[in-house]
Structure 1
C-alpha cells in the first residue's frame, strides 16, 4: 500500500502541499491538463525551484489575471469575480470531467471549510461566502493536491504534530491572532507543536487538506521511502526552513504499525476499589489499553505497576489523569512501535441476535476473530443464559465467515 507522510515541521498551506507533490514527482503538465477540466479561466500555474534556509524545494505559483475566472455560462450572484461560495465551487467540480474520487475528496474539503466558517460566523453553510479559501488560487491548491494524491497512487495520508506559529495575521475580515479562527477550528482534537515564530505557519487551506483527507497523526510511520518532496512557502524564515516535507512510500498492507507511548508508575498505597476507578478514568482520558502488574516494592510492600498504552494525541490527558487520580509522585514514559493486524468490524446475525465482531487479517487471510464483550454481555442478560454459553454459540458462527 502506498502512503504519504506529511512532515509539517514548519506548518502547512495549500501551495506548500501542492509544491511538495510537484517536488516529489507530480508532472506539472499533467496537473495543468487535469485542472483544465474545471474550465476555470484567468489563471496560470507554474513551478520553480527555490531555497528556504539553504534547503531546496518547489514553489508553486498561481498567477491570477484580471477578469472573469468563471466557467463559460457560469451565473454568479456577487460582484467580486475571484471568490466563490460553496455551491458554486461544488457545481464547478461536479460539472468537470475529473475522476469521481478526485471530485468527492475535493468536495469533502470545501464542505468542511464551509462548516467551520459557518460556525465561526454563526450563520448557515449556504450563506457562507469564502474569501481566502474561495479565491481561485486556493481552489487550485486544494483540487490540485487531491489530483496529486490520485495520480501518485497514494491510498492513505498520515501527518506529524502541526505548528501554527503565533502573533497576528491579516485576512479579508481584519487582523486576527494566529492560528486564525478557521485554522484553530480545523485543528481541534489534533496535536499541535509549539514553535516561537511570529508568522502564520498553518493556513486554513493547509489545515483543511491534511485533517480532512488525512488518516491521523503518526510519527515516522513504518514504510519504504520511494519519493520525497519539499513544498516551499512564501517567506524564508531564518531559523526553520519554511517547507512542507512529504515522504511517499510503501508499507505492508497486511499489518499496520504506529508509534505509541507507554506510561507507567508504581503504586503501593492505594486500595483496589480506587484502582478500578483509576482505570476507568484513564480510558476516558484516551488510553488505548491499561493494565496492572503485581510487584514487590521497597520495605517488602506489595504494589502494582499501572501501565498505559496511549497515542501521542492523548498523552497529556492521560498524564493529567494519573497525577489527579493516583498517589504517584512521578511517572515514566517511553515510545514503542506497535504493529497490529488489519482490522475491521462486522455485525453478525447469530442464533442469539445481532452481534458485533472484530476481524483481524494478515495478507488477506483471517487470523483472529473476536466478539465484542459488551454485545455478548447484553445478549447474556437479555436471554438469561450464561456468558460462556453466548461465547460458545457465537464461536460456532465464526466458521461460516
Structure 2
C-alpha cells in the first residue's frame, strides 16, 4: 500500500507541510508553476533550499502583493506561519485573544491598507473560481471549516462571525490549497502522522498570556496524540493542526515501510533540533 508518513516531532504548519510534500513531488517546478497559475489575487509561491542542523530541505514562501506574513507575538520563537483570523465583533487586533490561527515564518505588514476581511462565504467564493479538481476544492473547504469551527467555539461566536484578515486569507488559501493539491497528485492510499509536538510555555499577546498550544489548535487537536517538550514556543499552528486532523488516517509510530522518497519542509527559525516536518512515502504491507 502506498503510504505517506509525516514526522511531526517539531510540530506542523501549513508552509512546512507544503515544503515537505513538494520535495516528494516528481516535478516541483511544474507544481509551483501550477500554483502560481491559479492566479490567487496578489499571491506568489516560491521555494528555496534551506539548511537546518546540517540537513538540506525546502522552505516555501507565500507573498501577497510582495509581502510575507509576520508574527505579531513577542516571544514566539518557532518561525512557522502566523496567520490571523479575525472575529468581526472584536475589531482588528492581531493577538491570540481573537480568532487567529497562527502560522509561523511569514512576514506581513499591518498597515491600515490591509484591514479588510473575508469570511467563510468569501473563502468559498475564492476557491470556487480556482482551476482545481473538485476533490481538492472540497478538501480545502473542509480544512477551512475545521479552523473556523474551532475558532468559533473557543471565542463563543458563530462561525459566520469568524473573519480572515485580507493578507492572511490569501496566504492561508495558498498553503491549504497547496497541501490539498500536493496530496491529490501524490495520491497516497494511506496517511499516517506521528504524535504531534505542540511546543511548550506561553505566547505573549497584547491582551495577556496564553498557553501553548493556542486554544484553537488545542481544540482542533482533540483526539490527536500530542505532547510538549523542551522547545519553548508554539510548534503546531491551527492550520497545521487542521491539515493533519483532516488528512491523517492514523497517528502512530513509523510503521514497517519501504521508503522510496523523503522530503524535509523547513521552518524559518533555528533550534538545537532540526526545525522541519519530515515526509516519507513508500510501500507498507497494510
Q: For this structure pair, what is the TM-score category when the shorter chain's length is used for normalisation?
A: 0.7 to 0.9
Over 3 Å counting, the alpha-carbon distance change for 1:170 and 1:94 in structure 2 is: farther
Instruction: State the structure with more CA Rg.
Output: 1
Corresponding residue for residue 55 of structure 1 = 55
- Candidates 149, 152, 171, aligned match of 1:115: 149
The normalised TM-score by structure 1 is 0.56
- Paired with 1:90 and 1:248, the residues of 2 have a C-alpha distance of 31
Query: Which shows bigger deviation, 4-13 or 32-41?
Result: 32-41
Alignment of 1:225 onto 2:259:
yes
Query: Which shows bigger deviation, 10-19 or 88-97?
Result: 88-97
Q: Which has the higher contact order (CA 8 A, sep 6+)?
A: 2
Q: Contact (CA 8 Å) 1:179, 1:202: kept in 2 or not? A: yes
Over 3 Å counting, the alpha-carbon distance change for 1:41 and 1:26 in structure 2 is: farther
Corresponding residue for residue 32 of structure 1 = 32
- Paired with 2:11 and 2:236, the residues of 1 have a C-alpha distance of 5
- Paired with 1:219 and 1:182, the residues of 2 have a C-alpha distance of 25
- Paired with 1:8 and 1:187, the residues of 2 have a C-alpha distance of 13
Corresponding residue for residue 96 of structure 1 = 130
Over 3 Å counting, the alpha-carbon distance change for 1:32 and 1:226 in structure 2 is: same
Matches within 5 A, 1:238-249: 238=272, 240-249=273-282
Q: Contact (CA 8 Å) 1:159, 1:216: kept in 2 or not? A: yes
Q: Contact (CA 8 Å) 2:64, 2:167: kept in 1 or not? A: no
Corresponding residue for residue 208 of structure 1 = 242
Corresponding residue for residue 43 of structure 2 = 43
- Paired with 2:206 and 2:114, the residues of 1 have a C-alpha distance of 13
- Paired with 1:174 and 1:141, the residues of 2 have a C-alpha distance of 29
Q: Contact (CA 8 Å) 1:132, 1:138: kept in 2 or not? A: no
Root mean square deviation of aligned Cα? 2.6
Corresponding residue for residue 250 of structure 1 = 283
Matches within 5 A, 1:282-321: none
Query: Which shows bigger deviation, 160-169 or 110-119?
Result: 160-169
- Greater strand share, structure number: 1
Following TM superposition, the consecutive aligned residue runs of length 4 or more in structure 1 with deviations greater than 4 angstroms are: 131-134, 170-175
Aligned residue pairs total 243
Q: Contact (CA 8 Å) 2:35, 2:45: kept in 1 or not? A: no
- Candidates 164, 167, 173, aligned match of 1:130: 164
Corresponding residue for residue 139 of structure 2 = 105
Distance apart, 1:131 and its partner CA: 4.6
- Summarize deviations over 1:296-338 as a string: whole Å, max 9, x none: xxxxxxxxxxxxxxxxxxxxxxxxxxxxxxxxxxxxxxxxxxx
Distance apart, 1:10 and its partner CA: 0.9
Structure 2 residue matching 1:40: 3-state secondary structure: coil
Unpaired runs of 5+ residues, structure 2, are: 68-87, 93-112
Corresponding residue for residue 104 of structure 2 = none
